[in-house]
């Protein structure tokens, strides 16, 4: 009964939190439509990361709009911001090289104007790109650069930008003590600041992962629970579902299987309420893994099939492939060779479709990037042309001024010579 009341209370808190978050983003977007280019630049920096979380494709509208403003007004700072904003979109499409190129272009501008805060931001995102692409050493280099520019900027919030990511790298390498120090420092900072609840949820979740990796399940559970408490106040359903998933994993490793199942079910409930098909499929998939782990193959098969069905409903081939792979494993465990072979044939067919789909996505994302590159080159050409024209005008003005000064000097010299000759004659 207590658990049910907590569940209902969580839904109420989440509904309020979601409405408040949506109101904030809507206010930004409404202001953006009628703002001038300077105000648009500031608004974009504030809402782009939040909008990226809500809708990864909608952000393109604002990137393209801001780019048009940059071209129209010949503003390099605006173009640099569109490069910064486009990088996460390219990253989400696994176009890591393109995303890196965009950011390095932005870095070049921000170095020219010595904008340390934006350099800290850019290097942090660059680090994330290399981290996701598996280049840990290069990622660490960029995260350290982000921290360095944060120190130069003299603002603690920019120093803290890469700390969470540096902790992830240390955790990845098994350097638990150093990762823990970074996380403790990061959490201490977040507690002192306002509006950091969501980041606190992520920080405690990573601390939970740190203890989970060390098989300290009690401490992992405490941190995952704290993460959940913060997630509930934020009001983001996906974050709460991830929190329950983390709790389920800890309980599973602690061999509290009944509680683990309850948490997996709760996570799925939040995903269904959120109505994001991808994460609903993930919820069923996780349940399938749980039942497979406790050797309940029929229940595992049912949940993998549900995950497959959801993947088919919204046409996600990756989700379908992942579900089919696990279905194949279940059939293998059950000794059902015929159904396993049939499933493997479906996987092969899906793999061919996946290759075609990925090429199409890559081409679309590349087109967006290349269109922006072309516009940027043309715009920079216009800016340089204007700079050259202004330099010519300036040099002409200087030359004309020197002619005038020279003329006065010459005239003065003639007058002086004339007066001297006159005086001598007298």
**Given a cut of 60, is residue 135 above it in pLDDT?**
yes
Structure tokens at 85: 């904003």
Residues 162-186 have pLDDT tens digits of 999 999 999 999 999 999 999 999 9
Structure tokens at 75: 């503003």
pTM assigned to the model? 0.74
Confidence of residue 143 (pLDDT cuts 50, 70, 90): very high
Selection from 233, 254, 232, 252 nearest residue 242 by Cα:
232
Q: HSE (CB half, 13 Å, CA atoms) of 42?
A: 5
Confidence of residue 250 (pLDDT cuts 50, 70, 90): very high
Give the Cα separation of 349 and 368 in Å (integer).
30
**Given a cut of 50, is residue 107 above it in pLDDT?**
yes
Residues 388-424 have pLDDT tens digits of 455 445 545 544 555 555 555 656 556 565 555 555 5
Give Cβ neighbours of residue 373 (< 8 Å, ≥ 6 apart): none
State the pLDDT at residue 2: 38
Choose the weakest-confidence range: 70-84, 131-145, 312-326, 401-415.
401-415
Q: Distances in Å between the alpha carbon of 113 and those of 74, 76, 109, 119?
A: 16, 10, 6, 10
Residues 275-307 have pLDDT tens digits of 989 999 999 999 999 999 999 999 999 999 999
Give the Cα separation of 401 and 394 in Å (integer).
10
State the pLDDT at residue 71: 86
Give Cβ neighbours of residue 147 (< 8 Å, ≥ 6 apart): 120, 159, 161, 162, 163, 166
Q: Distances in Å between the alpha carbon of 298 and those of 100, 302, 331, 377?
A: 46, 6, 10, 59
């Amino acid at each position: 009964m207590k658990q049910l009341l907590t569940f209902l209370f969580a839904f109420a808190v989440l509904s309020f939190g979601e409405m408040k978050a949506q109101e904030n983003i809507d206010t930004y977007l409404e202001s953006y439509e009628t703002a001038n280019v300077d105000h648009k630049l500031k608004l974009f920096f504030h809402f782009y990361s939040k909008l990226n979380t809500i809708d990864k494709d909608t952000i393109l509208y604002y990137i393209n709009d801001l780019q048009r403003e940059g071209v129209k007004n010949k503003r390099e700072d605006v173009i640099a911001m569109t490069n910064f904003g486009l990088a996460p979109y390219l990253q989400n499409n696994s176009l890591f090289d393109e995303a890196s190129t965009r950011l390095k272009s932005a870095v070049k501008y921000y170095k020219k104007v010595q904008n340390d805060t934006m350099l800290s931001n850019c290097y942090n995102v660059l680090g994330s790109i290399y981290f996701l692409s598996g280049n840990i050493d290069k990622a660490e280099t960029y995260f350290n650069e982000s921290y360095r520019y944060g120190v130069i900027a003299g603002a603690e919030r920019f120093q803290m930008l890469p700390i969470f990511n540096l902790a992830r790298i240390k955790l990845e390498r098994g350097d638990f003590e150093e990762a823990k120090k970074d996380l403790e420092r990061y959490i201490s900072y977040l507690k002192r600041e306002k509006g950091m609840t969501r980041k606190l949820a992520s920080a405690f979740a990573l601390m939970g992962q740190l203890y989970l990796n060390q098989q300290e399940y009690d401490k992992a559970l405490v941190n995952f629970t704290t993460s959940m408490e913060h997630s509930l106040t934020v009001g983001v359903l996906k974050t709460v579902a991830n929190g329950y998933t983390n709790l389920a994993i800890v309980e599973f490793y602690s061999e509290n299987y009944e509680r683990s199942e309850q948490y997996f079910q709760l996570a799925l409930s939040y995903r269904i309420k959120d109505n994001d098909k991808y994460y609903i499929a993930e919820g069923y998939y996780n349940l399938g893994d749980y039942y497979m782990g406790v050797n309940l193959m029929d229940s595992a098969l049912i949940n993998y099939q549900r995950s497959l069905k959801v993947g088919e409903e919204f046409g996600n081939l990756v989700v379908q492939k992942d579900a089919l792979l696990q279905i194949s494993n279940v059939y293998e465990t059950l000794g059902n060779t015929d159904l396993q072979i049939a499933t493997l044939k479906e996987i092969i067919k899906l793999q061919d479709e996946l290759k075609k789909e990925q090429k199409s996505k890559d081409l679309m994302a590349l087109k967006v990037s290349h269109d922006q590159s072309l516009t940027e080159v043309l715009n920079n050409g216009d800016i340089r042309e204007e700079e050259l024209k202004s330099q010519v005008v300036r040099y002409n003005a200087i030359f004309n001024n020197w002619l005038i000064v020279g003329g006065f000097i010459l005239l003065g010299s003639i007058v002086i010579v004339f007066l001297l000759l006159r005086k001598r004659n007298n």
